[in-house]
Amino acid sequence: MNLKKYVVYWLALLLCSLASTNIHAANILENGTFDGGYFPWDAPGWWAGGAGDSAVDERGRFCTTVTALGTADWGAQLRQGQLAFVSGETYQVSLRAWSSVPVTMQMSATDESAGFVWIFGGDITIDSSLDGDGQVIAMSFNAGADSDSGHFRFLLGGGNVPVGETVCFDDIVVDAPSADINLIENGTFDSGFEPWALGEFGGAATPFLDEGRGCILVDDPGAESWSLQVRVSGLDYVENGEYLFRADAWSSAPVNIQVAGVDESAGFVWHFGQDVAIDAPLDAEPQTLSVDFVNGGGATESGIFRFLLGNGHVEAGTTVCFDNIELLAPSNSEIEEPVEPAVYVNAHGYLTAFDKYAVYVALEEYGEVTSPRAWTLFSGETSVASGETVYRGLDEGSGDHVHGISFGHIQAAADNYTLVVTEGDSSYSSQPFAINDDLYAALKYDALSYFYHNRANTPILADVVGDTWARPAGHVADSAVQTIECQTDPGNPACRTLDSSGGWYDAGDHGKYVVNGGISVWTLLNQYERAQVLGSDAGEFADGAMSLPAEENGNGTPDILDEARWEIEWFLTMQVPADYPLAGMVHHKMHSEFWTGLPTAPHEDDVSRYVHPPSTAATLNFAAVTAQCYRVYKALDANFANGCLQAAEVAYAAAKANDFIPATSNGNGGGTYGDNNASDEFYWAASELYLSTGKQAYAQDMQASVHHLSLEDVQYGQAAMGWGTTQALGLLSLATVGPQYNADESWVAQARNAVINVAELYVGHTQSQAYGLPMWTGGMYWGSNSNVTNDMIMLGLAHDFSCDERYLETMHTNMHYLLGNNPLGVSYVSGYGENDMKEPHHRFWANVVNSDFPPVPAGVIAGGPNSLLQDPIAQSALQGCDPLKCYIDHWESYSTNEVTINWNAPLAWAAAYMDQWSDADLKAAAQSRCAIRNQHFSSFEDDTRSWSKRGVGEISVVEGGTRGDNALEVDGCGYTYLDTPQFSTTEFEVLGDSLAIDVMLPDAQDNPHWLGNISFHITLPSAGIHNQWIDMVPLTDDSLGSWFTAKVALPASIKAALAEEHEGLISVALNTSNCSAPLLVDNLRFTGNTHAR
């Protein structure tokens, strides 16, 4: 026997006998039987301390076992929210319950959205054993208040359920009189006539508004009764459904009109109707019409409700008026929305000059799925393009039959585009979207503003973020916080009190973490460094460009560095000082003693906070970021920069001197960010220290690492970097700024090639994935959207290093996925797109939970699909989901809808990059830099600027070389002078102490005893330098059959002139004795102590 079905049946009989039961009663709760999990119930959150385990057991009951007592009964609740209660209405509550020992607890309904409002409730006692049939509880309550945001709850905390005991619930029902649904929109004509339409099918009339009434002056009733109609369309009628029509009506003369429900979508179908008489004069009190109908025409979603005013009903010259029109259907008459084909687009928009890609999902229920469908692109109501979809196949990540739609040739700027696909006789439309070049101009700043919003220990100012998000300083006691050792043993040598003010709140909680802060700061600093040395948009983040406090908008420091410094300065508080155990190591994190409730404003949280023990991973994150800090800030604040470097070298030395120390896991109050392999952090830290100091000890550590110059171990995951996989950060810093900091040239070249190779992988994935992701989608993991944005960083740098626009187009396509072109049609970025994320797991941006708290601001990215379903809400709501559909925009789904600093940082990086390449002025400047860097005459890649020669040899550009695709072949013996094209010294982004060129001699030599020499000359006429000889280098056996670098030191006078603005040329003089075979030269460059010009 199915016990659950028996109980539900028994309870139904019981409730029928209760005295105030309304025959139209409806259960306002969802899933009171806990089938398939407990969504949308909220499991106990232990907001006042305590702990417990909750789950649905094998009998289908929701059970909680208390393992530690909290301090308040409300601290642990089983509850369901977003319920509507009507003051004065009677609610019938019933349930079945079990307990391992007799318990008494409160069962109640409340509203906490704007303070605390009691609606109804009382105590219940449960004394049925866990292995019995359960105790049936049935009670009746009158609601004491109205609410649209009510909770129904059981209070389990504060000892209501003793430690070690278990309580279970099932078959929970809260019955209320069902609310009838009015199918008519704007029956009061408060918004004009829409959606009402005048149907003139041989008749004619003049509609007008009169003192809030909708009126029709009949000019000509026509020949038929239906020749003149007033009607509204698109209504759902349920087969055999009961409907109540009501309206106020007037007429200038007595009339007899027909009121009816019909369907004309496929022929004519009568659903219900009858004639009604109206004789109330226009200037008198209204006549109230009221008629009950039963739908005898079957179900439809294309119903029409109409008034017939034609021949036989109303005479010419008569005016009929209506108001307060209702067509009421019981709530249980709603039609369940069917699944329909869908058109998915980047709902924020597409950049004008880029490819544009959208998706149509075909459903088997609608017939054959593989054939092309017709699509039309509209701007407003005007068709601007059309075509046929291309079937992409059954998508692995979504389970969808996907068709692709491309419309890159449309470049007219507008914000009212829609894409419509025809399926049989029906059409399906996308969300509206824009085509424009300013789409990322605001997002690049909104994404960065995440960090200011989440600053700890400082007021968040209304002048910066607006009144909605302003708040007092949170957790001011961080200025004197103890280490966790003090909690249990104040005599422990590691017990101390420190000032740990500053930093960013990490995610939805109020914890601060060095691991995770590390990659977040690196991303902001890399965005700045990349803009300085590779891009054209550094000025976009200059002092005063961002919305920050006044003292930061005018301090001479670029605003993006002001923001990063807020976290770096907190980092510096976390290093263990001398004379304490593990001196030089860095504390892993600091957070509250236990998880705080949601919502909780930072300034209202009084839970004790502690600094947790050091870890190797945190120490190396610290060393890497503070080393990067040194080179970025040294020209802006030398004292701060020097302090960063000193701390970095101490931390790195401490990490090497101590055995590996893992992060501690306490399971409460904060995340662990555990990492049992620090080899990647060692490589990252060594790389940053090498770039910032040039010390060979760090170079040797890099060379000894298994991660050196390689991304092979991350190519086949979903992202090349994350808080637990940081080796790519070191390689990317080397590739980005290596030339500016005298890094080994071959290392820089190999690092850039590694980036390009991984970018090729991402291009391939994007082209093969139906939804255009850069990664495998057979499984999605916590923070999957950050994998997309981190992959976009790799693609952007690959584009910088190669000027290959495929990488830029791939970034554009990846952004489509994040902003709506995905299997859920959701924009994962708040404030961007029509169906954007609105309910992040965040303790302050919690307006959906409590209206006293603000909504999420624009520019925040959600974690995204997570097929592991690692929170109770996801487990209940998403069982069996395809990987790309394992997401729910719910404030308690922390495994899919959390927000964090390390996810918003790469979004900001990617948005800024896309804006650089869509803003006309920034794009032109960036293209020029890219061409100089990657197609320069010095490596024979610019076919518009040729080298010339003087002397006996012949020259030609051939394939092969040490930089780019080409080299210069010199065929001839004796003296040959090779002259560069005329140049401006401003073309050289990097200068150095030496001038070098790569040379390869043929193996066969006419005179093996003397191979020749190579000398360098420079001409800068406006500096008074004319064909000045620099130095000569003999050619040796090292250059036979392999590349050899000939290098000469530059005199101080020439280095000074190169740093100024002059025009000139460089001459390379070859003197060789070999006449039998040509030699090759390539890559004329500055080297040795390189630095930005």
Task: Identify the bridge partners of residue 531 per DSSP, sorted by sequence position.
Answer: none
* The pairing of beta strand 481-483 with beta strand 609-611: parallel
Q: How far apart are CA 939 and CA 957, in angstroms?
A: 10
Kindly state the DSSP code that residue 50 receives in the 8-state scheme. -
Q: How far apart are CA 68 and CA 158, in angstroms?
A: 10
Q: How far apart are CA 918 and CA 437, in angstroms?
A: 5
Q: Residue 119: which of 85, 78, 149 has the closest Cα?
A: 85
Return the beta strands (E) in 355-440 as ranges: 357-362, 374-379, 382-388, 390-394, 401-406, 414-423, 426-429, 433-435
Count Cα neighbours of 398 within 13 Å in the Cβ-side half-sphere: 24
Task: Identify the bridge partners of residue 155 per DSSP, sorted by sequence position.
Answer: 77
Tracing tokens 């219900």 back to the chain, one arrives at: 272
Largest CA distance in the chain: 123
Element (H, E) at 524: helix 514-533
Which of 263, 889, 919, 989 is the catalytic position?
Answer: 889
- The type of residue at 588 is H
Q: How far apart are CA 134 and CA 137, in angstroms?
A: 10
Sign, Cα dihedral of 239, 243, 247, 249: positive
- Nearby residues of 433 by Cβ (< 8 Å), 6 or more positions away: 345, 346, 347, 348, 349, 350, 415, 417, 418, 419, 820, 833
Q: How far apart are CA 785 and CA 612, in angstroms?
A: 29
Element (H, E) at 1018: strand 1012-1020
3-state secondary structure of 616: helix
Task: Identify the bridge partners of residue 1008 per DSSP, sorted by sequence position.
Answer: none
Q: How far apart are CA 862 and CA 786, in angstroms?
A: 9
Token pair in block for residue 862: 């959600």
Q: Residue 21: which of 169, 173, 149 has the closest Cα?
A: 173
Q: How far apart are CA 864 and CA 837, in angstroms?
A: 10
Q: Please say if 889 is a catalytic residue.
A: yes
Token pair in block for residue 169: 């619930």
> Treating both helix axes as pointing N-terminal to C-terminal, what angle do 514-533 and 616-633 enclose, rounded to 10 degrees?
30
Which of 898, 919, 941, 969 is the catalytic position?
Answer: 898
Over the range 452-480, which residues count as b (16 or more CB within 10 Å of their CB) and which as e? Answer: bbbbbbeebbeebbeeebebeebbeebee
Q: Please say if 1082 is a catalytic residue.
A: no
Peptide bond into 599 cis (omega under 30): yes
Which of 509, 540, 791, 836 is the catalytic position?
Answer: 509
Which of 453, 510, 841, 1062 is the catalytic position?
Answer: 841
Q: How far apart are CA 810 and CA 800, in angstroms?
A: 14
Q: How far apart are CA 600 and CA 2, in angstroms?
A: 43
Count Cα neighbours of 669 within 13 Å in the Cβ-side half-sphere: 23
Count Cα neighbours of 864 within 13 Å in the Cβ-side half-sphere: 28
Over the range 632-663, which residues count as b (16 or more CB within 10 Å of their CB) and which as e? Answer: bbbeebeebbebbbebbbbbbebbeeeeebeb
Q: How far apart are CA 965 and CA 967, in angstroms?
A: 7
Q: Please say if 841 is a catalytic residue.
A: yes
Q: Please say if 509 is a catalytic residue.
A: yes
Tracing tokens 């996907």 back to the chain, one arrives at: 402
Q: CB 315: neighbour CB atoms within 10 A? A: 13
3-state secondary structure of 755: helix
Q: In the sheet where 117-126 sits, what is the strand order?
A: 77-85, 147-155, 103-111, 117-126
Q: How far is CA 775 from the centre of its chain?
A: 16
Q: How far apart are CA 1012 and CA 999, in angstroms?
A: 12
Q: Which residues are catalytic?
A: 509, 841, 889, 898
